Chains A and B, each alone.
Chain A
Amino acid sequence: SQGLDYDNIENQLFLEEERRMSPMGFRCLEVSRWVVCGLIGFLTGLIACFIDIAVENLAGLKYEVIKRNIENFTETGGLSISLILWGGFNAAVVMLGSILVAFFEPIAGGSGIPQIKCYLNGVKIPRVVRLKTLVVKVFGVICSVVGGLAVGKEGPMIHSGAVVAAGVSQGRSTSLKRDFKMFEYFRRDTEKRDFVSAGAAAGVSAAFGAPVGGVLFSLEEGASFWNQMLTWRIFFASMISTFTLNFFLSIYHKKTGELSSPGLINFGRFESESVEYYLYEIPLFIAMGAIGGLLGALFNFLNYWITIFRIRYIHRPCLQVMEAMLVAAVTAAVSFTMIYFSNDCQPLAPENSEEYPLQLFCSDGEYNAMATAFFNTPERSVRSLFHNQPGSYNPLTLGLFTLTYFFLACWTYGLAVSAGVFIPSLLIGAAWGRLCGILLASVSPNASIWADPGKYALIGAAAQLGGIVRMTLSLTVIMVEATGNVTYGLPIMLVLMTAKIVGDYFIEGLYDIHIKLQSVPFLHWEAPATSHWLTAREVMSSPVTCLNRIEKVGTIVDTLSNTSTNHNGFPVVVESAGNDEPGKLCGLILRSQLIVLLKHKVFVELVRSRLTQRKLQLKDFRDAYPRFPPIQSIHVSQDERECMMDLTEFMNPTPYTVPQDTSLPRVFKLFRALGLRHLVVVDDENRVVGLVTRKDLARYHMGKHGLEELQLAQT
């Protein structure tokens, strides 16, 4: 992983370009920002639409075939063949998705939310926003949902939105080798980050039909850099994405122009009678929040150990594919066994319209209630848990379902397939929440009036999801928007709050665990508590590799080629008299800039000798962005090595610096708020004594015994 430079490099080239730009040019830039946001929303919505339709049709086909098979074999005997068919089908489809992920783009695995969180935080995990990642992600998620794994397609949608944003805003695709010569100004980390946050928001918005939730998600998870216009633009992108999804789905469902259908997951509307809740239910909700926190912590804890095992032992792609296939087959086997042995039969009624009702051993005209939970895409199961009439599930069915699905989902997350954890969490929560509602109704005599199982299913779903991912504000709004119901705002908020407090007592949120396991130098909102006594001197890396303002090309090439250090930013110093004395700081230059300079051979001698020399412009740096060639690919001849390079024009002449005694929280704040990548530590005579990077700060965290220092691993 590497850092992103959110700090503007105000070198002379930058100043020149700004001087050349007319006020009209700036206005055009502003307009093109809006255009880009609109495009992001549009494309994200289209992708969501594609995924939705593909999953619906393929899953429909699968369940239709298996259902017919089961019906045949119920009569004639030989249901074990149906079981093998189901397991084999799942394993085959999941194998496709897993091969895509494991062999072609491992970064497309999982939900993608941790990666996007890192990106917005300022750490770029390589290849995270490439076109190839997007393609693998989209097809991977279709395969894993159709393959019947305990996964959802919402998390990947957020990643997809972010990739779309990163691609569209650049006006070119390096993978396809096409440059549309558009939006060239946006080819740098600062601008790209803003668009990526818009893309993530558009993804959330398309996934849940929650535009406001999307904006708040970007706010909560990512951006530490926020302003009003950016928020407004992000909101625009979110709205466009929901609109696009609605529009195209309305065409697909042959109701062209009807724009009221919500996002990918449709929780359905809650009817007005069941919406009511009373003051005395609030303690019940809070208790459910605590249960959600506990279960979420257990989920995270189990998943943490599974993930560690996977990192250590299952790191070869073919093993990963095998593991995914096994999980798919076992999911089918467990589901089938549960359905087979379930005695919960419910009458078929027009109002609970099951998509694929399985009768099995139920009387004619009835269907197997366990099958509505297992023999369905997870989203449909969530919806039926929310909305089916009281009495459409036995408590035993729900209990067994919660138990098995909990372990299946826990086992599934972290496989080398592209899949999200939102829907499985909601499903687990909805199942035990509904169970709570049913138990309440049976315990107290008049509770059957207010204890609507659908309402408790919703609360349970919120509690479980909150307990696993520990999101607060955005999740509340997403739930409110996805159910189209503001009435439950307060209960959902209380539940999520409780779930977070209880869960945080035991273990971190799932995404944070995975970020930590990937050894990403992630900076949280605040510096760890009680760290004021640590100073920059103790935190910084030292000694620093510095470059002179006019430096020999050979030295630069050697510095860049040094694989053991692989530094990214180099303080530029005025030549010092003594060799041991550190030089006085006069600027900061990045590896990427040096590579571009070397590539264009901007050497002092050549510039002098050449008569018609073309001056290097900011555009040359942008054209190379974001994939700067490695130093090995740049050929510097022996003669050229003796040349000199003048860095004055290109370096950032005013890098951020701190004195040696600056406390850790102060340094931390600079990094978090300004999105710095390098911070130079100087002594009282402005001489470079050290350099602080993200990795130096991310080591420290609050542990059980006070402040602890972590070991970061190379990735």
Chain B
Amino acid sequence: ASFFNALFALFFMSFNQNTLLVVLSCICISVCVSGEVVSAGSPVFKTHVDPLYSLNLLTALNDYSDISQYCKDLLDLFGNQYVAYVNCLVPAARPVKVCQNCFVNFENLNKTYTNISSDEVGPAGEVCRDSLLRSDRLMLVFLLFSNLDGIWEKSNCKNCISSDSPSLTNDTLYFLAMLNQTYNCFDQYQQGNHTELCKNCKNTYRDLNILYSEMEKNYTMCIDIEDAMNVTRRRWSKTFNCSFPREENVPIIAVSSFMLFLPIIFYLSSFLHSEQKKRKLIQPKRVPQYSSLMNIQDKLS
């Protein structure tokens, strides 16, 4: 609807006042005509003459297509690629691998959509953008694509895919290699004592962590990497319990209670040794008989 409004606005801007009247009347006429069409068509359904007949009529109506074969082909292609991409996405949901597994599919889909939405004139002399994307209120094709595009945006996949040739970036590949190395280490020591694991895998894990924080700073991360790192960290800290232990309770308590003790000494010593400051009170100069409030209160009572 907003698109049509925009069109009207364009009309209003480009025509001068005389043509504006013409345009307005045109709109009025078209509205009236369409009204007539509806009123003429409705008695057909009301009569219920023959269900078969009405079905035929429906198919006949459906058969009438306002789009060219070229656009229809494009639409079919779009549909196939859409299904392919979604099929790829769903199994990649957990653990998240939407970028590394499906970037080819998205690239294809994106290309097709770009074709559809370009203002190129097709062989039949028709612009598919107008017929496929903008001819109804629902704008289904646009809606479908924008959903998937939203997923792509939200997952930050762009950061992991090098733009010129659709492939994973070197950073991502390097990270995945490191991750693999860490997982191998985890697998190697998983049986038996976890302290062994903590000790032996510490270096690989720390390197991975450092790499991750660098990527975090450079904004070269996508959801795949984030999720992989989260899972790894959780395994490291929760499953294997390799976090730092709290081991210095005694020195901490000693130092802080020493610090807490200092002010007590300070206040005590200043209480005992410092000279108390006496306040000099200002005595009011009053008329003698009213010199104190006591007298006044006596007077009151």
Contact = CB atoms under 8 A, between A and B. Distances in A.
Interface string A498-528: 0000000000000000000001000000000
Contacts of B244: 74-75, 360-361
Interface stretch (A194-202, A244-252, A324-332, A468-476): A324-332
Interface string A404-436: 000000000000000000000000000000000
Given A84-B255, A337-B256, A699-B284, A361 B246 contact: yes
Given A538-B290, A713-B280, A364 B252 contact: no
Contacts of A80: 248, 251-252, 254-255
Contact of B245 (A319, A361, A690): A361
Interface stretch (A37-45, A159-167, A308-316, A546-554): A308-316
Interface in A664-715: 690, 695-696, 699, 707-709, 711-714
B270 interface: yes
B237 A363 contact: yes
A87 B290 CA distance: 58
Contacts of A334: 256, 260
B287 A538 contact: yes
Contacts of A533: 296, 300
A360 B248 CA distance: 12
A79 interface: yes
B73 interface: no
Nearest to A660: B287
A538 B260 contact: no
Contacts of A707: 293
B53 interface: no
B248 A538 contact: no
Contacts of A79: 248, 251-252
Contacts of B276: 312-313
B47 to A, nearest CB: 53
A364 B236 contact: yes
A330 B260 contact: yes
Contacts of A78: 248
B259 interface: yes
Contacts of A360: 244
Given A79-B248, A80-B248, A540 B282 contact: no
Contacts of A543: 285
B209 interface: yes
A561 interface: no
A363 B253 contact: no
A541 interface: yes
A712 B282 contact: yes
Contacts of B259: 87, 329-330, 332-333
A334 B253 CA distance: 10
A25 B300 CA distance: 56
A337 B253 contact: yes
Nearest to B290: A538
B238 interface: yes
A591 B230 CA distance: 77
A224 B266 CA distance: 44
B262 interface: yes
Contact of B287 (A84, A323, A537): A537
A79 B244 CA distance: 12
Interface in B269-297: 270-271, 274, 276-277, 279-282, 284-287, 290, 292-293, 296
A711 to B, nearest CB: 5
A542 B287 contact: yes
B281 A690 contact: no
A360 B279 CA distance: 51
A534 B286 CA distance: 13
A326 B266 contact: yes
Contact of A314 (B253, B270, B280, B290): B270
Contacts of B63: none
A311 B277 CA distance: 7
A659 to B, nearest CB: 15
B234 interface: yes
Interface string A73-86: 01101111001100
B66 interface: no
B134 interface: no
A340 to B, nearest CB: 6
A301 to B, nearest CB: 18
Given A361-B243, A542-B287, A316 B266 contact: no
A651 to B, nearest CB: 23
Nearest to B250: A80
B236 A313 contact: no
A322 B260 contact: no
A77 B233 contact: no
A445 interface: no
A79 B111 CA distance: 56
B260 A362 contact: no
B252 A83 contact: yes
B280 A714 contact: yes
Contact of A713 (B245, B279, B287): B279
A534 B300 CA distance: 10
Contact of B263 (A316, A327, A332, A708): A327
Interface string A348-361: 00000000000011
A711 B293 CA distance: 12
Contact of B274 (A316, A540, A542, A709): A316
A362 B238 CA distance: 10
Contacts of A319: 270, 274
A364 B255 contact: no
Given A314-B270, A333-B259, A542-B285, A714 B279 contact: yes
Contacts of A74: 244
A87 B237 CA distance: 30
A365 B234 CA distance: 8
Interface in A179-219: none
Interface in A573-610: none
B252 A713 contact: no
A565 to B, nearest CB: 9
Contacts of A332: 259
A313 B273 CA distance: 9
Contacts of A699: 284
Interface-centre pick from B209, B237, B271, B292 (highest chain A CB count, 10 A): B237
A546 B234 CA distance: 87
Interface of A: 74-75, 77-80, 83-84, 87, 309, 311-316, 319, 322-323, 326-327, 329-330, 332-334, 336-337, 340, 360-366, 519, 533-534, 537-538, 540-543, 690, 695-696, 699, 707-709, 711-714
Q: What 9 pairs across the A-B complex have the smallest Cβ distances?
A: A363-B237, A713-B279, A364-B233, A333-B259, A80-B251, A333-B256, A538-B290, A714-B280, A365-B233
14 contacts: A79-B251, A83-B255, A83-B256, A333-B256, A333-B259, A361-B243, A361-B244, A365-B233, A538-B296, A540-B287, A543-B285, A695-B284, A714-B281, A714-B282
Given A80-B255, A364-B233, 18 more contacts: A83-B252, A312-B277, A315-B277, A326-B262, A332-B259, A333-B255, A337-B252, A340-B246, A363-B237, A537-B287, A537-B290, A538-B296, A543-B285, A709-B292, A712-B282, A713-B282, A714-B280, A714-B282
